[in-house]
Amino acid sequence: MKEYSILELQEAFEKGEFNSKSLVKDFLMQINTLDKNGPKLNSIIEINPDVIEIAEKLDKEREENKLRSNMHGIPVLLKDNILTGDKMQTTAGSLALEGYKSDHDAFIVQKLRKSGAIILGKTNLSEWANFRSIHSSSGWSSRGRQTKNPYVLDRTPSGSSAGSAVAVAANLCTVAIGTETDGSILSPSHMNSIVGIKPTLGLVSRSGIIPIAHSQDTAGPMARSVMDAAILLNCIIGYDPKDIITENCKNHARIDYTQFLTLEKLDKIRIGVVRDLTGYHKLLDIKFEESINIFKNLSVQIIDPVNLEIKKEVEDAEFEVLLYEFKEDLNKFLQNSSPHTPISDLEQLIDFNTKNIDRVMPYFGQEILEMAQKKGDLESEDYKKALNLCKTSTGVNGIDRLMKEHNLDALIAPTTNPGCPIDLLLGDHYTGSSTSSAAIAGYPSITIPMGYINEMPVGISIFGAAFSEPILLKIAYNFEHVSNIRISPKFLPTISFE
């Protein structure tokens, strides 16, 4: 099946080459061929049973010249921690929530439906958005089992938005929505050679999304191109009275982010190379140097080196914050969703997993859940101290400091290491990542493909100050156009180093 961009699809619709109904049917066949059979990617956890009927209604609107947006009639997959008030479940990949069907859409789903997007289904993920065990395998959930990387099937798809990334890469949909607390959009996008955007915190509402931590959580677009990602971003941003942080983003939520996607010399753009976020894989560093040269060919002013100097104590403080907020936020979510949810708090979740250990924990446990359960409330001085350290170290004294000192427009670093083999017993093997500073600060970051190492994709992250999405998108769009790096997956069973 051909890979179409959103604008190519709209042109094909206009010419009458096919319609949304036939497109959906093609995707369903592709899913059956690649996801459920063949290589068994296992990226999709559930198909929307009403998807054909929805496509027919949108086709009729098109015939009546009632187009809603560039997303009209475009199939979208959602990560299975995003509520839909339809016949589909929302479980965060957990058997503890099996059977839970919400009576309302998440705010971003309301926005997508209003734009004319077709909710094709839900994607698999690292269970509880990878906040269950320190030995977890990314892309594994008790409900959906192990997602595979379409480039090399025995390599990690990364996570937690594994299914969304794999489905986009394997052309099982046009675009998808992922969520991120720290790396969960960027890392799987990097591992699957697609574009991922982690927006500024509050640009996208979190209401109706199963949480980890309100100080870092956000949803974001995952696509095969910067343009598609920007079009999708336009459709999900907006003020939501149910998520108070979006109050501060009203002005930015009215921006059309596609207007910044123009091809031009970037001679006035200053980019800092964050050298202390490199050096964790030799071949990755080579690809990164090639990417720096691409920026130089775009006439970008490269400032090299700059260093964020984030200390280990900040990483420890971040985990502390996440433990406190996960307990608080998940309990609140479950209590507000009761009596529809099978469990009503974190304690019941831990108890369910313990009683169903063979089905839920055949490979790794729930140490993180247990650590979170032992934490107090958000009035704890330990929590407040850790949160303050996180925000000041990565924000004012981190990214903001670098941007001001060197008069920068953006920062760049390799997103994370090349994909490791899937290891259900010992879990993921990571050697380094650049996702944390922007994630903790709540600042935007975009990852785009920068090449391949032994058939495995790797990406480069472009990040910066709060609400700098316009300049980051411009930089990413020009890099993408000049590099033209992305290739479609080959579904290799494994790779040999002989």
Q: How far is CA 291 from the centre of its chain?
A: 22
**How far are the Cα atoms of 200, 280, 296, 423 from residue 266, in angstroms, in the given order?**
23, 29, 9, 43
Decide if 184 contacts 445 (C-beta within 8 A): no
Residue at token pair 């996570």: 159
Reduced to 3 states, what is the DSSP secondary structure of residue 28?
Answer: helix
Active-site entry in 102, 115, 160, 215: 160
Q: Which long-range contacts (CB under 8 A, 24 or more apart) does 66-71 make?
A: 67/116, 68/114, 68/115, 68/116, 69/115, 69/116, 69/234, 69/235, 70/6, 70/7, 70/10, 70/231, 70/234, 71/6, 71/112, 71/115, 71/116, 71/117, 71/231, 71/232, 71/235
Active-site entry in 184, 189, 205, 207: 184
160 assigned to active site: yes
79 assigned to active site: yes
**Residue 419 token pair:** 């994909």
Count CB-CB contacts under 10 A for residue 494.
10
Count CB-CB contacts under 10 A for residue 288.
22
Residue burial 344-371, b: 16+ Cβ < 10 Å; e: rest: ebbeebbebbeeeeeebbebbbbebbeb
Active-site entry in 20, 43, 79, 327: 79
Angle between helix axes 226-236 and 6-15 (nearest 10 degrees) is 90
For CA atoms 90, 125, 95, 27, the dihedral sign is: positive
- The amino acid present at 152, given as its one-letter code, is V
Residue partners of 376: CB distance under 8 A and separation at least 6:
324, 382, 383
161 assigned to active site: no
CA atoms within 13 A on the CB side of 33: 11
Backbone angles phi, psi at 93, to 5 degrees: 75, 5
Reduced to 3 states, what is the DSSP secondary structure of residue 254?
Answer: helix
- Catalytic residue positions? 79, 160, 184
